[in-house]
Amino acid sequence: MLAMTLFQSDLNDRQSIPEWVTTFLCILFSVLWAVTGLPHLLSVEYFCLAIGAALGLYVVIRNLALLSSSKSASLCCIAILFIWIVSHLFFIGRNYQLQLLELQSIWKRALLGSIFALGLGLSIVRSSNPSKKWQIIFAGLFLPTVIFYIKYIASIILPFWGIEVPEPLRLYSCFAEFYVPKITYVFFCLPCMAVAIGALVRGLKTPTFSLKKILFLAFLIISIFGLFLLENIKNGFAYGVILLMIAIAVILRNKTFYLGFFKSAVLIVCVVILSILIYKNIEKNDSWKSFYYDLKVSIKENPFSPNSYLVTGEYPINERGVTVQPANYARFSWGIAAINLISKNPLGYGLVHASFGHLIQEVYPDSKLSQSHSGWLDLTLGIGIPGVLLLLIGGVLAIKNSQNLAGSWNNFGLLFLGSMILLAITTEVSQKNYVNTFIWCIAFVCGLGIGANNPAEVAEIGTS
């Protein structure tokens, strides 16, 4: 009994985890967030995951008593998910070889990342200087945007000076050796935008929130919208607008915001700039103009009928008398097809990536489709309804438990994970780099929530 008491006392000591360990884990997170999804950096990703998992395991062992609390329910969901995936491989799956390859790749990275991220979350909450850790994590979230603009500026300045742009610094609009998919920018940039918007809304409730911080956060938000415009990423724009609308609704509903003349002027200028960017995106894409009409066609049409695109390979005509926009039609029609397939395959085909394509080929062998354009539908077809439910329940519980934290970390879980859950509705993230990252992000927020039994005082964003 005495030994257990001493052990419990040691676990409750905020200094039980050396500060350098927590700081190093935060740096590893930032590096991972920056390099995951970029070409030819897999070795860097594995190095960070391996070192992070080793340090994370050390932190978890030092905090084992905390894992017995009710707040670890979200962690249990993730653990059961891994058991489900292994069981699916041997007893349910329909493509053993490809599932085994995914187990050795996607799920191995998800496991290593979960151990690392759990330790990271636990160590941050129990740190003696959490404000510094927040700054490192937030800087890491913004790194993918910084990398994009470095490439963008290099593509303009270097040719002006007569210097050929190196391949790693080039921005490609189609598949190439160093091509970065639009999905990557949405997945790794939208969470930063969500956290920045949340920090701005939270800061406006405080009379001491400075104009400098408002300008800083507004710059981050506008720069990410700018990225989406330059890369013509409609998904990113749509979800960014949704996040802004939610923020505006919160501001209008809450009467405790402190807005002086200069702060109001800055916010109005930012709204004008964002409105211009949104208008440019709408003007640039005909798909927005025919969105409603293409939706009506997709809903009326049976994707498995003899006249459908799956059979004829030709896109239908909408009410305006023009061919539907492929981007709109694909998301609507393939989504309906995916829901139909889920009803017939509730336990899943077995693959994180391209289960939709394999199941479609069972009906139409000549089909070239691989995904339904919805991350959640594709993932449900892959790991089944039980697997997706475990993932969603784990994520929701992690968000709920992390709401007790103070300062900047208070709504971090909601904004961070919530934006990922949102973007997966119409973004093809059911593949490597995204699913494994989402899983260890849940473990990260879970660690924050479990450690919140003794929440530390966290400084607001921008505090040095």
pLDDT in tens, 306-329: 777 776 778 888 888 888 888 888
**Greater pLDDT, 35 or 37:** 35
* pTM, to two decimals: 0.91
**Greater pLDDT, 141 or 170:** 141
Pick from 166-175, 251-260, 348-357: least confident: 251-260
What ranges do the domains of the chain cover? 22-289+373-451
- 127 forms bridges with which residues in the sheet? none
Convert 250-272 to b/e letters by CB count within 10 Å (16 or more is b).
bbeeeeebeeeeebeebbeebee
pLDDT tens column, 99-131: 999 999 999 999 999 999 999 999 998 887 777
Answer for the pair 95, 460: CB distance below 8 angstroms, yes or no: no
- Full 3-state SS string of the chain: CHHHHHHHHHHCCHHHCCHHHHHHHHHHHHHHHHHCCCCCCHHHHHHHHHHHHHHHHHHHHHCHHHHHCHHHHHHHHHHHHHHHHHHHHHHHCCCHHHHHHHHHHHHHHHHHHHHHHHHHHHHHHCCCCHHHHHHHHHHHHHHHHHHHHHHHHHHHHHHHCCCCCCHHHCCCCCCCCCCCCHHHHHHHHHHHHHHHHHHHHHHCCCCCCCHHHHHHHHHHHHHHHHHHHHCCCHHHHHHHHHHHHHHHHHHHHCCCCCCCHHHHHHHHHHHHHHHHHHHHHHHHCHHHHCHHHHHHHHHHCCCCCCCCHHHHCCCCECCCCCECCHHHHHHHHHHHHHHHHHHHCCCCCCCCCCHHHHHHHHHCCCCCCCCCCCHHHHHHHHHHHHHHHHHHHHHHHHHHHHCCCCHHHCCHHHHHHHHHHHHCCCCCCCCCCCHHHHHHHHHHHHHHHHHCCCCCCCCCCCCC
Q: What's the pLDDT at 57?
A: 96
Mean pLDDT along residues 25-40: 95
Assess whether pLDDT exceeds 60 at residue 30. Answer: yes
Distance CA 234, CA 49 (A): 32
Distance CA 381, CA 430 (A): 10
Measure CA of the first residue to CA of the last residue in the chain; give whole Å: 43
Confidence of residue 453 (pLDDT cuts 50, 70, 90): low
Convert 59-72 to b/e letters by CB count within 10 Å (16 or more is b).
bbebbeebeeeebb
Assess whether pLDDT exceeds 90 at residue 68. Answer: no
Assess whether pLDDT exceeds 80 at residue 227. Answer: yes
Assess whether pLDDT exceeds 90 at residue 409. Answer: no
Distance CA 325, CA 343 (A): 27
Assess whether pLDDT exceeds 70 at residue 461. Answer: no
**Greater pLDDT, 376 or 211:** 376
CB atoms within 10 A of CB 459: 16
pLDDT tens column, 157-185: 998 898 898 988 888 877 788 899 999 99
CB atoms within 10 A of CB 291: 15
Q: What's the pLDDT at 316?
A: 85
Half-sphere exposure of 201 (CA within 13 A, CB side): 23
Distance CA 25, CA 115 (A): 11
- Cα dist from 220 to 189, 194, 196, 258, whole Å: 10, 10, 7, 21
